[in-house]
Amino acid sequence: MAKITRVRFKNGLRLLVVPREDSLTTTVAVLVAAGSKYETKEINGLSHFLEHMCFKGTEKRPRPIDIASELDGMGAHYNAFTSHEYTSYYAKVKNSAFKGAFDVVSDLYLHPTFRREDIEVERGVITEEINMYEDTPRNKIGDVFMELLYGDQPAGWNIAGPKENILKLTKEDFISYRAKNYLPEATVVVVAGGITPARAIAAVREEFGILKRGKKMQKLKVIEAQKKPREKIITKKLEQTHLVLGVRAFDMYDKRRYALSVLAEVLGGGMSSRLFKRVRDELGAAYYVGASPDLFSDHGFLGVSAGVDNKKVETVIGVVLEELARFKKEKVGEKELEKAKEHIVGDLFLSVETSDAISYFYGGQEIMDVKLTSPQEAARRIKKVTAGEVQKVAEDIVTREGLNLALIGPFKERSFLDILKV
């Protein structure tokens, strides 16, 4: 386990340093608790739009090309992303380029200019990004499922927002939102890879020490209410149907999350999983099919996603429901349980080999106020999961009244509610 240095500065900003002596690269990442769940309906999409605008120019680097050319000149891999819970900016570089990468990433976070002419240009970029997702049903179906689960509240809104919002957001909106959210006490800086703690601490203190605390905008608590199965069908002429079938679960702090991970692995976590064998290998009904938990700060779900032969949709839904119910009726066998746990642990270890991956492994925990858990400790907890715990978590969350089906396909005036039973 890497020895992590964790520093909380006087202004509330947190720094994690994850040194790896044999790493050829260093990643600088800044995470801020300013995701779409902090928005109101009128400004839904602003968090993501703001992330784009930080790359349009800063006081020191006024043009997008100034930012891109400098990072490209270091051989950097760099980007940013916005989620429901937080936004992040990062650059991964060879160790010798740490200072330059840190200077650029901190500049993006600290000194964006939000020029009006850049806002106008970026409206078109984001509108086309929204169009791209709308035209990609495999991506779009996830948003449809979230809307089905959570409805007209932040958890149910699209992170990119509706196009009508993108067309009317103003410079003043960006400045106001940033002042309420981009605050030191809501920010985590992670430096991982071939770096010493002393050097990282000095860099962060110099750039971020000037930040002043403020009054942070708070999220609305997610309201969950469901008394019967639900469906949301988007009618579209497609060669295959894309669907997500799932159940409500719990938040990311729940101790049952390890058992849920094992359940999802057995169900649809790999090419030897139950759903892969039945839906793809036996029925030939799908190219992709899988299951995974998605847990947030105050809600979560287990979802099964698949792209299915239009003629076999009802059959596949039936198989998924059978397999969900099976977890309640019988315990997972010892051999299957151990295989699933080893697959999860193997995937985990492989996924944190690089400096950028390990930075987000720890940074994601820190920004969400999860007690820091190393990959080795997470592996130990996965390996301790019993068949009884898997069965118990299935009994807790797999109920008929909690079933939800989102679907995009060539179905007009067709309902699947009559088969949603476990």
Angle between helices 197-208 and 98-110 (to 10 degrees): 30
List pLDDT tens digits, range 170-193: 999 999 999 999 999 999 999 999
- Euclidean distance between CA atoms 201 and 356, whole angstroms: 18
Q: How far apart are CA 110 and CA 249, in angstroms?
A: 37
The DSSP-derived string for 245-278 is EEEE---TT-TTHHHHHHHHHHHHSSTTSHHIII
What would the two tokens of residue 89 be?
């900016």
CA–CA gap between residue 147 and residue 406 (Å, rounded): 9
For residue 247, with 0-12 CB atoms within 10 Å meaning exposed, 13-18 middle and 19 or more buried, which class applies?
buried
Q: How many CB atoms lie within 10 A of CB 126?
A: 22
For 377-417, the pLDDT digits (tens) are 999 999 999 999 999 999 999 999 999 999 999 999 899 99
Active site residues: 51
pLDDT of 413 reads: 87
The pLDDT score that the predictor gives to residue 334 is 98
- pLDDT tens figures, 117-156: 999 999 999 999 999 999 999 999 999 999 999 999 999 9
**Tokens, residue 232:** 């949301």
Looking at residue 274, its pLDDT comes to: 98
Query: 10 Å Cβ neighbour count for 70?
Result: 19
| Matching residue, tokens 């301790």 | 384
Residues 62-117 have pLDDT tens digits of 999 999 999 999 999 999 999 999 999 999 999 999 999 999 999 999 999 999 99
H helices present in 189-329, as ranges: 197-208, 257-268, 274-275, 313-329
- Which residue, 67, 143, 147, is CA-closest to 107? 67
**What mean pLDDT is reported for the chain?**
97
pLDDT at 1 over 80: no
Q: Are 57 and 118 contacting, i.e. CB atoms less than 8 angstroms apart?
A: yes
Q: What is the pLDDT of residue 247?
A: 98
- 282-294 mean pLDDT: 97
Residue 344: pLDDT above 80?
yes
- Distance between CA 271 and CA 165 in Å, rounded? 41
pLDDT at 112: 97
pLDDT of the residue at 2: 62
- Please give the full DSSP string across 168-190, using - where no structure is assigned: T--HHHHHHHHHHHS-GGGEEEE
pTM for the complete prediction?
0.95
Q: Over range 326-345, report the average pLDDT.
A: 98
Three-state DSSP at 196 gives coil
The answer to whether the beta carbons of residues 155 and 85 sit under 8 Å apart is: no
CB 266 within 8 A of CB 176: no
Domains of the chain (ranges plus CATH)?
A: 5-208 (3.30.830.10), 230-419 (3.30.830.10)
Measured CA to CA, the distance from residue 137 to residue 146 in angstroms comes to 14
- The CA distance from 233 to 405, in Å, is 8
